[in-house]
Amino acid sequence: MKTKNSKELFKKSKEHIAGGVNSPVRAFKSVGGTPIFFKKSRGCYLYDEDGNKYLDFVGSWGPMVLGHSNKAIVNAIKKQASKAISFGAPTKNELEIAKIIKSYIPSIEKLRMVNSGTEATMSCIRLARGTTGRKKIIKFIGCYHGHVDSLLVKAGSGAATLGVPDSPGIPDELSKLTITLEYNNASELKKAFTKFGEDIAAVIVEPIAGNMGFIEPDENFLKTLRSLCTKNKSILIFDEVMTGFRVARGGVQELFNIKPDLTALGKIVGGGLPVGVYGGKAKIMNNISPDGPVYQAGTLSGNPVAVSAGSALLKQLKNKKMFSELERKGEIFLKGLKEEAEKNGIPFCYNIRGGMFGFFFSNKLPKNFQEVSDTNISMFNKFFRLMLEQNVYLPPSAFESCFLSTEHSQEQLLITVKLSSNVFKNLNNVLLN
């Protein structure tokens, strides 16, 4: 695998771009090596600046559920761009995509377009505080909700540990309004509400945690969460930026039949262009300016090109069977990887829903961030680098989810399983030595 051009580009980028990248995980710091600089994509393949071709399991972190350079999406972008790129004013495009989103996710009665998932979660928190008149929020350790100050808080311990900032620049005073709890721990949740219930404006959660390697909720966790929020008049926020239109057409809330009060969406909604959405109960959304007192704005929100791309994608998700087919192919792929791992005495387990999955070098599926951290992270890092040499592009972090597209064929996935055979043999040799 040639890497000369990527190495040179990364070296030059570090002179002009902070860290050489525009989002930290892209730097390959956790897995080692030099980040790949890409120039083209088609279907389920990526092409880099050195002429290498990779089978892609990142999918731009979710949006490419129909594969890269989908014809309908590309045509929609071209058509709209030929008319206008931006207005900073209302368009018919916004109305069209709003209707589609509402039809797929019934808990959303009204919505507002923004420009990223971070903006969506940030706006949900502000709206929850403005609606309830309360200040404290609950989040779960290992759930990432963007880089907004209130949500970028380190793991805590105990039933209701007040958080500490996860980054310099976040005031201690602000972070103390965020209560961090263990994901999948209903007992901690109950204790937190007993102690702080009257002060809790909202609970925000990834209903399936996609930022610690794809962790599913225990059977009663989301039900307990819904019940406690209802009882205490706190607002339940589902962050489905990653899982929306990915694990199922209607997201996790469709899978588990649990309706949040507010939902944050992103990624797929823009068809690959920067878009975020938040929405939910009309009586809550009516508190947003200009109808209500809670202010939120965005000059480029509802950008006509971005929402045209998103509409073109979402229209192609009408058939729900698409998601079961993605899961069927993914199961074959992951079972194959597991078999190859076990042949070499390497522990391997996985989770999958729809076109989204995660795997761990462990005998037991983790249920929370600490258990993910206790899996063999160094083994994942070695696996990533060895698979990259086989021209397979996986997320460059053990704490990220993987993504399938409709363009991944069963044949391609089985070929990847065969490629993994030598990789697992090499990992076995590392273990023995």
Catalytic residue IDs: 144, 239, 267
Region for 382 from its dihedrals, namely left if φ exceeds 0, alpha if ψ lies in -120 to 50, beta otherwise: alpha
Take residue 197 and report the two structure tokens written for it: 């219930």
Query: What is the 8-class DSSP label of residue 329?
Result: H
Query: What is the 8-class DSSP label of residue 294?
Result: B
Take residue 89 and report the two structure tokens written for it: 């004013």
Take residue 154 and report the two structure tokens written for it: 């380190």
Take residue 362 and report the two structure tokens written for it: 């462990």
Among the listed residues 165, 11, 58, the one whose alpha carbon sits nearest the alpha carbon of residue 397: 58
Take residue 172 and report the two structure tokens written for it: 């201690």
- In contact, 179 and 160? CB cutoff 8 Å: yes
Q: What angle do CA 87, 88, 92 make, to 5 degrees?
A: 65
Using CA atoms, how far apart are residues 180 and 136, in angstroms rounded to an integer? 11
Using CA atoms, how far apart are residues 364 and 349, in angstroms rounded to an integer? 7
Using CA atoms, how far apart are residues 228 and 277, in angstroms rounded to an integer? 25
Query: What is the 8-class DSSP label of residue 362?
Result: S
Q: Which one-letter amino acid corresponds to residue 387?
A: M
Among the listed residues 307, 366, 309, 345, the one whose alpha carbon sits nearest the alpha carbon of residue 425: 345
List Cβ neighbours of 418 (8 Å cut-off, separation of 6 or more).
none
- In contact, 381 and 423? CB cutoff 8 Å: no
Q: Cα 391 from chain centroid?
A: 24
Crossing angle of helices 321-343 and 410-432, in 10° steps, is 30
* Start-to-end C-alpha separation, the chain: 26
- In contact, 61 and 425? CB cutoff 8 Å: no
Residue 160 sits at φ, ψ, to 5 deg, of -155, 65
Name the residue with tokens 């590392």.
430
List Cβ neighbours of 168 (8 Å cut-off, separation of 6 or more).
none
- In contact, 210 and 243? CB cutoff 8 Å: yes
